[in-house]
Structure 1
Amino acid sequence: MTLHEDWAAIPQGAHGAAVALGNFDGVHLGHVHLLKSLHAARPDLPLGAVTFEPHPREFFRPQDPPIRLMLPAVRARFLHEQGVKQIFQLPFDADFSHLSPEQFVEEVLHRALGVQHVACGPDFAFGHRRAGSIDFLAHRLEVLGIGLTVVPPLTDISGPFSSSRIRRLLQEGYPERAAEELGRPWFIAGAVTHGDKRGRLLGFPTANIPLGRHIEPARGVYAVTVHHPDGRVIPGVANIGRRPTINDGQESRLEAHLFDTNEDLYGQTLEVSLHRLLREERRFDGLDALKAQIAEDASQARAALGFAV
């Protein structure tokens, strides 16, 4: 897999791909359906993906809370797992946002990326103020000798699979339902940072990971598994929120307690997968009550994950 981040400097060797267009946030089952449909349409061409960084919504609405299901490096990894050979991660800045639909097709897809075939969903819009329609795309690509496959969305009883639907499920506290649409548990990836060591004093040391640009799911306590860089998958319990009992005024954070593990994790990049929301965030009357509840949370998480209490 090759990642290209400067569309004005794409090597000739990367030309000639069949590319899927989209943000691919989460690389969920709907995205997989799009990529498989493209490969079925043009199995003779290298499979590629054209995506954007930052997410256009992040660019246009920087004041909004973070929305990302995954960060770029993780997205590239999962695209590669789906057979994508060329990832064109186009910088979405002011200049790019002002490209007309014609410029996007002619200058970016045709001249810079040299694509031979394109696939997208029926609602894909592009160019300045999203003025480019599927009909326009089909016409311009045909003139340029580039093929187009419009792929109907993957749907279930609730409608089309989408990143926005998965975000909503996470914010409502249903990580197990989000996992069904992602094809895997949703996780937060990040480096372990130093906290106030309060968890250790309570008898439950935690790995503290800033949410960063990840969307904040429902605040509360979750049964989790933690993927360690050495390949281990460690069960645990995690809190996501602002710690109202301590009331430290900090922004929301993820604090994960790894079961039966006592090691220095500072600086390690962990992936914390959410499996089930055990309870919502709430305030307790003092640290003793909080400590008792954490013990109960840990017991429930072990049971939820299928491990002996």
Structure 2
Amino acid sequence: MSPKPFQRIADPAALPASLRGGVAAIGNFDGVHRGHVSVLDRARALAERMGAPALALTFEPHPRSVFRPEKPVFRLTPAPLKAELIRRAGFDAVVEQAFSREFSGLSAEDFVGRVLTDGLGIAHAVTGFDFHFGKNRQGGPAYLMEAGQRHGFGVTLVDALRDEGADVVSSSRIRTLLEEGAVAEAAGLLGYRYTVEAEIVGGKQLGRTLGYPTANMALPPETGLKYGIYAVRLRRPDGSLHDGVASFGRRPTVDADGAPLLETFVFDFSGSLYGETCRVSLFGFLRGEEKFDGLDALVAQMKRDEAEARALLAGVRPLSAVDVELCFSG
């Protein structure tokens, strides 16, 4: 028998009957990092014991972007990548509840009744110990457990996961690391290499004239990644993987006023990538963005960057099964 297909569902009311009575892991899950995985693993294991569907309930867009639209949050995983990571964690479906100011005005009891009971018909909820919900965050862990008793579903709370230094693994901490260019440290908390996805777009093709043609991606404007040079691995839609070196920033030597771009020079590759939606995984930060005195100095540094990236990528090892699937298995 073939496995059940994974489903992305935008409205809890549209949940198929076959997925009702499930175990729901609840949270934003931005990044689907190691702390989130501890919640997801608990929910999946419980679903297996109960013979029930495993669901993830998350919220789109990120609530912080709704409340502060002038300063949208730096998303670690846009919805499609987040859904894929949840699928890889062994879930049957992700429910991407639309989050708006109107939705945020629901009382805690309405959230439980409309979403968890009427919408999803859950048998059990699993969430982090600090999960809050409802208008003005009036619902918390104690309220959820009491509501579960009244509505007939169980509740499991999962303590925060701490790293080897006893610090909590959190999305905000990972964002800070990426803003500092510390992609290797961020990967240790994510459990996989930080990965972006976008269509390859045309540029000014200056790199081609310098012997370094690049695949260019325009990332969301709220992306907080530090400007600089990175050792990367690019995955094409056909699944093939290619090592490379990438620059993220405004290109101060040749186009200081341009919009930020991620420009990837793919090693030992001569084909065209235009129009393809590719993923780029960041393995190491090589240096910050610099302005050079002319193109000759720029090309000389690019050669050094290429050599350093090749050396770094030659020694990388996967961090997890997810990292293998994202960045190592073709």
TM-score > 0.5, shorter chain as reference: yes
Q: What is aligned with 1:40?
A: 45
1:17 aligns with 2:22: yes
Counterparts of 1:213-232 in structure 2, within 5 Å, are 215-232=223-240
Counterparts of 1:1-309 in structure 2, within 5 Å, are 1-42=6-47, 43-44=49-50, 45-64=52-71, 66-156=73-163, 157-212=165-220, 215-306=223-314
1:214 deviates by 6.4
**Distance (whole Å) between structure 1 residues aligned to residue 293 and residue 80 of structure 2:** 42
What is the DSSP-based 3-state SS (H/G/I as helix, E as strand, rest coil) of the residue aligned with 2:56?
A: strand
1:65 deviates by 5.1
Contact 1:167–1:215 (Cα < 8 Å) also in 2: no
**Distance (whole Å) between structure 1 residues aligned to residue 44 and residue 260 of structure 2:** 41
Per-residue CA deviations over 1:264-290 (Å, capped at 9, x if unaligned) read 100111111111110001111122211
**Distance (whole Å) between structure 2 residues aligned to residue 66 and residue 150 of structure 1:** 26
TM-score scaled to structure 2, two decimals? Answer: 0.89
1:241 deviates by 0.6
What is the DSSP-based 3-state SS (H/G/I as helix, E as strand, rest coil) of the residue aligned with 2:95?
A: strand
Contact 1:179–1:186 (Cα < 8 Å) also in 2: yes
What is the DSSP-based 3-state SS (H/G/I as helix, E as strand, rest coil) of the residue aligned with 1:180?
A: helix
What is the DSSP-based 3-state SS (H/G/I as helix, E as strand, rest coil) of the residue aligned with 1:257?
A: strand
Contact 1:221–1:237 (Cα < 8 Å) also in 2: yes
What is the DSSP-based 3-state SS (H/G/I as helix, E as strand, rest coil) of the residue aligned with 1:24?
A: coil
**Distance (whole Å) between structure 1 residues aligned to residue 74 and residue 207 of structure 2:** 28
**Distance (whole Å) between structure 2 residues aligned to residue 10 and residue 269 of structure 1:** 29
Per-residue CA deviations over 1:124-171 (Å, capped at 9, x if unaligned) read 011122221111111111101110000112112141111111111111
Amino acid at match of 1:155: R
Larger deviation: 62-71 or 97-106? 62-71
Contact 1:68–1:213 (Cα < 8 Å) also in 2: no
**Distance (whole Å) between structure 2 residues aligned to residue 213 and residue 109 of structure 1:** 34
Contact 1:41–1:149 (Cα < 8 Å) also in 2: no
Larger deviation: 285-294 or 208-217? 208-217
Contact 2:231–2:285 (Cα < 8 Å) also in 1: yes
**Distance (whole Å) between structure 1 residues aligned to residue 168 and residue 204 of structure 2:** 43
Contact 2:249–2:260 (Cα < 8 Å) also in 1: yes
**Distance (whole Å) between structure 1 residues aligned to residue 100 and residue 221 of structure 2:** 18
Contact 1:190–1:209 (Cα < 8 Å) also in 2: yes
Contact 1:173–1:277 (Cα < 8 Å) also in 2: yes
**How many residues align structurally?**
307
**Distance (whole Å) between structure 1 residues aligned to residue 181 and residue 120 of structure 2:** 40
Contact 1:7–1:88 (Cα < 8 Å) also in 2: yes
**Distance (whole Å) between structure 1 residues aligned to residue 199 and residue 263 of structure 2:** 12
1:248 deviates by 4.1
Contact 1:70–1:214 (Cα < 8 Å) also in 2: no
**Distance (whole Å) between structure 2 residues aligned to residue 216 and residue 210 of structure 1:** 13
1:213 deviates by 6.0
Amino acid at match of 2:306: A
Larger deviation: 45-54 or 214-223? 214-223
Contact 1:284–1:290 (Cα < 8 Å) also in 2: yes
**Distance (whole Å) between structure 2 residues aligned to residue 212 and residue 238 of structure 1:** 17
